[in-house]
Chains A and B, each alone.
Chain A
Amino acid sequence: MPFIPHTPEEQREMLAAIGVDSIEALFEDIPAKFRAGDLNLPSGLSEMEVRQKLEKTAARNHTDLTSFLGAGFYDHYIPSAVDALCSRGEFYTAYTPYQAEASQGMLQAIFEYQTAVARLMDLEYANASLYDGGTALYEAIMMAVRHTRRSRIVISESVNPIYRVMLDSYTTNLKLDLVTVPHKDCNTDMDALLAALNDDTAAVIVQNPNFFGTVQDFTALFDKAREHKIVSVISTYPVMQSILKTPGRMGADIAVAEGQSLGLPLSFGGPYLGIMACNKQLIRQMPGRIAGRTVDKNGKTGFVLTLQAREQHIRREKATSNICSNQALCALRALMYMSLLGPQGLKKTAQVGIERAHYAANRLERLPGVRVVNQPFGNEFTVKLPVRAYEVIDKLLDMKFVPGFPLGRYYQGMDNHLLVACTEKTTKQCIGILAELIGGAL
């Protein structure tokens, strides 16, 4: 049997030591009426057969596409060293580092990851990771609700709608009042947000660049929030954060992000990485694992999981969150990615994406009836087409081109709007073809 080392003779020896005469005797506690019959599963396959079968399955996915799809999830180049390092069994077959002395590798890596994230966001602290950008946003809201003891949440409609529908589900039973402030021509509507803040508000939530790609400064909004003792939450794009004004500089209290862009493959939606950083005042409300530096009894530097009085295994129903397993290996990948690129490499990656996107916007805007809606933007932008975005996508798919994401899927009245993303992997040549194909499809 696969992966079971016991020979029949060893099994007999073990049964004799236990004092029973069959393996079946070990299951006598399960009442006869609950005993399962033979499972209706296929027979086992050899390793080779499983791999052959799943090679065929993989081949049924179309990954030979030229894609301008982003919408919060981006196709960045992953240096070969990331996979080489991450596939070390010492990392990926370990558990959560409960026994610190036997887990220093993971603990130091988490500490370094926390440091890198805090520096990227320009905030004091970061945790060891959450599941993804959406659940990180939900956890940020819950931090604000606990911290302020208020229940009103103001969120911009330009925050990724994939996350906003998740927030709807999570807050259904929680007596929270989620107020969504509409966007204004793909900009986050600062005036409307300012007007929506009041002394009952727990948190204000914005995204930069927002879902449409627009880059803005939220300093004034966060200043006003502070006056009302409201927690300011900003959702960001980590690669772009290497060049854009930081959450810390804008005065945000909590920064969250989907960390997929930092060296994680798109992998059909997961595993991804929930990034969270916060300022000093909120650290005890932080969910999830946190590593800290300390010394051993000989004074040697070492690392432990710390501030565990927040966590479910200690506080049970009074914990700050129920999270146990997080995305440690994904955080490790992100740390490796950031270390390999360094500050300059990360910035250059962002810059190439921005340059490509502006080149693409320029090319598309030359087409009749096509208008770039937002300004300024980073590596992603919104164009309004003279026809429905779906129709253009449908036509281009046949040529193995995905020109972008149709905003009509989430926004009423935006059926003609297309969200187009570029990264350092996007070539000028492909942008040229894209412009020609879209031009031909109009």
Chain B
Amino acid sequence: MKTLFQDSSKGRTGVWPKEPKGNTEADIPAYLLRDTAPKLPELSEIDVIRHFTRLSRLNYSVDSNFYPLGSCTMKYNPKFTEAVAAQPGFTNLHPLIPQLKGAGHMTQGALEVLYETEQLLGEITGMSAFTLQPMAGAHGELTGVMLMAAYHNDKGNRKTKIIVPDSAHGTNPASAAIAGYDVVSIQSKNGMIDPDELEKVLDDEVAGLMMTCPNTLGLFECGLERIVKLVHGVDGLLYYDGANLNAIMGKMRVGDVGFDVVHLNLHKTFATPHGGGGPGSGPVGVSQRLVDYLPISRVVKLEDGQYYLNYDYPKSIGYIAPFYGNFGVILKAYAYILRLGREGIVRATENAVLAANYLRKRIEEHLEIPHDRICMHEFVASAAKQAEKGVRALDIAKALLDKGHYAPTIYFPLIVKECLMFEPTETESKETLDGFVDDLIEILGRVETDPQSIHDAPVTTPVQRLDEVRAARSMELVDDAGL
């Protein structure tokens, strides 16, 4: 498909809000102005509509395809939450209004949304307080690690290291490093954190441990209780990566277990759409001993039911976002939680775990599952045996695209060879799961009979396998059309 720039016709116009007088040089001297207008596409409105409508059809999405992308919780995104967030009473609200003296009453609805969402997330996780400001999961991680650093600095602890298991999401070590810590990686044993291995690297310089539970293999960490004790034993803090919260929501509260910091991904567990790569939202919850360090501002509810923004927290890590987080995303998650309620939250988790185990059971005879036991919301299979015959995890993923399914996560976690990570979520029907497995079985059958057809896949997509090496080498990162 042509790009917008290739489609551009000089002089064609789209939407102009208003006609200026046009004598800008009278207001701003010419040497401060640009020489020529930016070479943006010149299109009519229907050109633009057709271009993007056609582009949209080239995408797989939850609305059009099963999307078992492990670790990403691609559940259905309810449409009423979009309608809620699109209300002008929310979208037209300038974020600086509540910072004006005398305007406190003008944003009470928005502040209530923030306050109530914090309360609901606090109840679901068992954490003492939340900030909704982080704008994605990784941003929540960075905020969480900054909170840990603030705690240790305040106590006068000299801490330099953060421990991250080798099964962790790549964002964990990256976030710890960016916050200024040395990252210590520990090896998993049977897919779990090995408390003995953890004990070996624990010393007084350890600021904390970042972990995911269930872990990225979809397994509940059986040494959890001992891990918590060990880390707290050196005055380390326990960080919970909430990417997998959909496995335990309503069944276990991480705060009750002893975690000190948790980030959630509202765009996973709480059904807000991923938007093709954001916007997400990564609220951070903390245990009582970290509450003083939370970012400012914080929403406070007064006895008369009014809300206000409080900036007076001397120990706070300060500002991590321009305002109050990705408010539009938070709104959708809030609406989703209100819709599900006490019962619905638990049922979501139960059916997510049910679907994952059903899928695991149906797949296990056809694809090796290295840790084949009851899993939580996702599981990891390995195509190592198929790879011996030349068909790799990547090939299987591509062949699934031809069947109209998005692919599972591949080559993550790094601790399983040729891995495929499946997360069906609670919103997919048994027929969808069965259809997917039938298609997978058909593909795996061809490993013996017609491996070339798998290597050739995908053939039904708008393009076939793309040359990534060429992309990296030629660095064609912008269009040169119309210059």
Contacts and interface: CB of A to CB of B under 8 A. Distances in A.
B94 A54 contact: no
Interface residues of A, number: 206
Contact of B38 (A89, A112, A120, A304): A120
A96 B14 contact: no
A399 interface: no
Contact of A323 (B123, B136, B409): B136
Contacts of B345: 39, 41
Interface stretch (A180-188, A193-201, A390-398, A429-437): A390-398
A57 B406 contact: no
B233 to A, nearest CB: 19
A71 B322 contact: no
Contacts of B138: 312, 322-325
Contacts of A25: 374
6 contacts: A18-B357, A46-B339, A58-B90, A90-B64, A341-B17, A348-B17
Nearest to B265: A325
B132 to A, nearest CB: 10
Interface string B151-171: 001000000000010000111
A315 B174 contact: yes
A87 B17 CA distance: 22
A405 B100 CA distance: 8
Contacts of B15: 79, 81, 340-341, 345
A93 B62 contact: yes
Interface stretch (B197-205, B383-391, B445-453, B472-480): B472-480
A27 B354 CA distance: 10
Given A170-B320, A339-B43, A44 B340 contact: yes
Contact of B24 (A265, A325, A354): A354
A41 B322 CA distance: 30
Interface stretch (A148-156, A221-229, A284-292, A365-373): A284-292
A329 B40 CA distance: 19
Contacts of A272: 322
A326 B16 CA distance: 29
Contacts of B295: 169
Nearest to B69: A95
Contacts of B343: 1, 43-44
B357 A26 contact: yes
Contact of B463 (A77, A104, A106, A321): A104
A341 B14 CA distance: 5
Which of A124, A163, A323 gathers most chain B CB within 10 Å? A323
Contact of A90 (B1, B56, B361, B406): B56
Contacts of B173: 312, 316-317
A172 to B, nearest CB: 7
B110 A302 contact: no
Interface size class of B (residues with CB under 8 A): 35 or more
A409 interface: yes
Nearest to B426: A4
B112 interface: yes
Given A34-B224, A84-B49, 11 more contacts: A41-B342, A94-B61, A98-B409, A112-B3, A135-B135, A175-B180, A244-B32, A295-B470, A324-B138, A325-B277, A405-B96
A45 B338 contact: yes
Interface string B303-331: 00000000000000111111111111101
B395 interface: no
A115 B478 contact: yes
A97 B469 CA distance: 17
Contacts of B465: 101, 296-297
A252 interface: no
Contacts of B32: 215-217, 244-245, 376
Given A54-B84, A165-B318, A297-B464, A339 B58 contact: no
Q: Most chain-B CB neighbours within 10 Å: which of A93, A126, A266?
A: A93
Contacts of A131: 135-136, 139, 278-279, 321
Nearest to A293: B476
Interface centre among B86, B90, B107, B120 (most CB of A within 10 A): B90
A243 B33 contact: yes
The 6 closest A-B pairs by CB, nearest first: A269-B323, A44-B341, A58-B89, A89-B63, A329-B275, A328-B277
B225 A347 contact: no
Contacts of B251: 27, 30, 35-36
Contacts of A43: 341-343
B282 to A, nearest CB: 8
Interface string B51-70: 11101111111111101010
Contact of B322 (A61, A112, A166, A325): A166
Interface string A13-43: 1110111100101111111011110111111
Given A132-B322, A169-B320, A348-B17, A104 B124 contact: no
Given A95-B74, A101-B466, A31 B224 contact: yes
Contacts of A292: 471-472, 474-477
Nearest to B429: A5
Given A61-B108, A342-B42, A114 B170 contact: no
A205 interface: no
A349 interface: yes
A44 to B, nearest CB: 3
Contacts of A39: 123-124, 250, 342, 345-346
The CB with the most chain B CB atoms within 10 A, among A3, A168, A390, is that of A3
Given A3-B75, A270-B328, A346-B40, A295 B49 contact: no
Contacts of B49: 81, 84-85
B276 A328 contact: yes
Residue of B99, B318, B466 contacting most chain A CB atoms (<10 Å): B466
B109 A94 contact: no
A134 B90 contact: no
B190 interface: no
Given A18-B358, A101-B401, A376-B28, A89 B93 contact: no
A109 interface: yes
Contacts of A147: none
Of A63, A174, A378, most B-chain CB atoms within 10 Å: A63
B339 to A, nearest CB: 5
A37 to B, nearest CB: 9
A99 to B, nearest CB: 5
Contacts of B142: 322
Contact of B348 (A4, A58, A102, A307): A4
B96 A4 contact: no
Contacts of A26: 350, 353-354, 357, 374
A242 B38 contact: yes
A54 B294 CA distance: 27
A3 B78 contact: yes
B92 A376 contact: no
A294 B461 contact: no
B354 A354 contact: no
Nearest to B414: A316
B61 A91 contact: yes
B76 to A, nearest CB: 6
Interface string B68-84: 01001011111010111
Interface in B323-373: 323-329, 331, 334-335, 337-348, 350-351, 353-355, 357-358, 361-362
A67 B97 CA distance: 10
A432 B220 CA distance: 66
Contact of A265 (B91, B135, B153, B257): B91
Given A23-B350, A50-B335, A345-B13, A297 B467 contact: yes
